[in-house]
């Protein structure tokens, strides 16, 4: 009946809220750690102690999220009821921050497609001088399935490219287009389109044969 769906949705909402709080804490800790490492105080005694504390807290949050996301990603997730609640935990769209200027969409395709079928990639290039001065971009990578996106996020989040560590989080869910693999497979299956026509031709002689003596 509908009751289990409602309780499951409520559980998911509570779980998502907890994970979101941890994700926000993770972003805050990373930002504070980045700022500390960029400051001249990072090599001082107090600075080193502070960075060690931040790294410890960050590791704890990462471990929590990894443990929480792990078993959850293996559980079967009913798609229809969840879509009604407009929840983004079904999103296959990854937000990628701290992209060094050397990144191109081709390079992102090469790195992210190791973990699944990428359906779209977009780098948000700086629009003004203030954004250019930051020396980094951000972007979005969308996968065909949630599991592929989760794998890419787990493997690439925090990975160092061009001296900057990627920051990966979930982007807003958008409808997935056909992956490159799907398009190739579809073009190799002409019999799907011809099937009904072939069947129609077999039936035509019986339907259109004039009655005897006409």
**In this structure, what are the phi and psi dihedrals at residue 119, rounded to the nearest 5 degrees?**
-100, -20
In 10 A of CB 167, how many CB atoms? 19
Instruction: Kindly report whether the global pTM for this prediction surpasses the value 0.95.
Output: no
Mean pLDDT computed over every residue of the chain: 75
**In this structure, what are the phi and psi dihedrals at residue 128, rounded to the nearest 5 degrees?**
-145, 175
Per-residue confidence (pLDDT) for residue 179, from 0 to 100: 53
Per-residue confidence (pLDDT) for residue 193, from 0 to 100: 43
Nearest-5° Cα angle at 188, 183 to 192: 95
Per-residue confidence (pLDDT) for residue 202, from 0 to 100: 46
* H/E run at residue 49: helix 45-74
Q: For the chain, which residues score pLDDT lower than 70?
A: 1-6, 67-88, 175-214
Per-residue confidence (pLDDT) for residue 211, from 0 to 100: 62
Per-residue confidence (pLDDT) for residue 178, from 0 to 100: 55
């Amino acid at each position: 009946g509908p009751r289990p769906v409602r309780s499951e949705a409520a559980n998911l909402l509570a779980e998502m809220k907890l994970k979101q709080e941890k994700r926000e804490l993770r972003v805050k800790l990373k930002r504070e750690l980045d700022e500390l490492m960029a400051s001249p105080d990072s090599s001082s005694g107090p600075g080193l102690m502070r960075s060690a504390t931040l790294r410890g807290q960050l590791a704890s949050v990462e471990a929590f999220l990894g443990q929480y996301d792990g078993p959850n990603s293996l559980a079967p997730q009913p798609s229809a009821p969840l879509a009604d609640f407009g929840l983004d935990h079904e999103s296959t769209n990854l937000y990628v921050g701290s992209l060094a200027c050397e990144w191109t969409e081709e390079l992102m395709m090469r790195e992210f497609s190791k973990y699944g079928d990428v359906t779209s990639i977009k780098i948000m290039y700086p629009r003004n001088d203030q954004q250019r001065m930051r020396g980094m971009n951000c972007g979005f990578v969308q996968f065909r399935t949630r599991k592929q996106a989760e794998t890419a996020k787990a493997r690439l989040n925090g990975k160092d490219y061009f001296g900057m560590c990627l920051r990966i989080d979930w982007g807003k869910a958008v409808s997935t287009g056909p992956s490159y693999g799907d398009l190739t497979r579809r073009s190799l299956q002409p019999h799907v389109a011809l099937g009904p026509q072939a069947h129609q031709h077999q039936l035509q002689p019986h339907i259109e044969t004039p009655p005897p003596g006409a």
